[in-house]
Amino acid sequence: MNLLRVLLAVLVPPLGVFLTAGVSTALIINILLTLLGWLPGSIHAVWVLSKYAERAGEQERTY
């Protein structure tokens, strides 16, 4: 994971998710969670970043 994306995911959760996943359902869910509170949005954003990094690692190993 990129350090800048992790910092953005913690400080401004929707921005971190947008830079990682683009406009997707993950972004919409993150916006809703962030409206409910900063902490749920941050947790979800870090989770999305870790899942995308995990999937990228799996794709690299299959080729």
pLDDT at 61 over 80: no
3-55 per-position pLDDT tens digit: 888 998 999 999 999 999 999 999 999 999 999 999 999 999 999 999 998 88
Q: How many domains does the chain have?
A: 1
- Answering whether pTM is above 0.75, one says yes
Taken in order 29, 26, 40, 19, the sign of the CA dihedral is: negative
Residue 22 domain boundaries: 3-62
For residue 21, with 0-12 CB atoms within 10 Å meaning exposed, 13-18 middle and 19 or more buried, which class applies?
middle
Of residues 57 and 4, the one with the higher pLDDT is: 4
